[in-house]
Amino acid sequence: MTQRVLIIATNGFEQSELTGPRDRLRKDGYEVIVASPESGKIKGWDQDDWGDEVDVDLTLDEVSTGDYHALVLPGGQINPDILRINDTAVGLIREFANAGKPVAAICHAPWLLTEADLVRGKTVTSWPSVRRDLANAGANVVDREVVVDGNIITSRNPDDIPAFASAVNEALQKAAEPADA
């Protein structure tokens, strides 16, 4: 059975932080589904202006965490700021984490981990302007391209996408191993 990865995003996601991991994970053989509060299409932010649209496969209300093996949260300043006040999005993030599934957040997306109360006692990284929020929420904040602490995976910025996608891939491979391996 092909492992399934859910990406949660809304308008204003950082273009490369959705499409980079999505494309890499698809290339690696995973089925990747995009969910959003709204149906249809969502528009990315590409560095300093609006970017491309991405098709939404499901609305957040249609998502069941049991159908997925991992969650990816792209950053951008707008996207996580909107999603962190969406109770359904925050609830889904918490459900993935509580189920022990990989939850990967890049750039500003660790704001969502803070909102879901998932960083207390964890070592994480993020975009520089989010780091104080993470520390105030009880995280040990470091400046590395990717940090894996249990099932929480974080990265700093678009330059880190290769390491970020590799860490998600490794977590999915580890989760697929038989328990006695």
End-to-end CA distance of the chain: 19
Residue 110 corresponds to which tokens in the numbers above? Answer: 């660790």
CA angle 111, 98, 151 (to 5 degrees): 70
Strand runs (DSSP E) across 56-170, as ranges? 58-59, 70-73, 103-106, 123-124, 140-141, 146-149, 152-155
Query: What length is written for the chain?
Result: 181
Q: Where does residue 77 rank: exposed (0-12), middle (13-18), buried (19+ CB within 10 A)? A: middle
Phi and psi dihedrals of 86, rounded to 5? Answer: -100, 110
SS3 36: strand
Give catalytic residues, as residue numbers: 108
Residue 7 corresponds to which tokens in the numbers above? Answer: 């990406």
Report whether 131 contacts 141 (CB < 8 A): yes
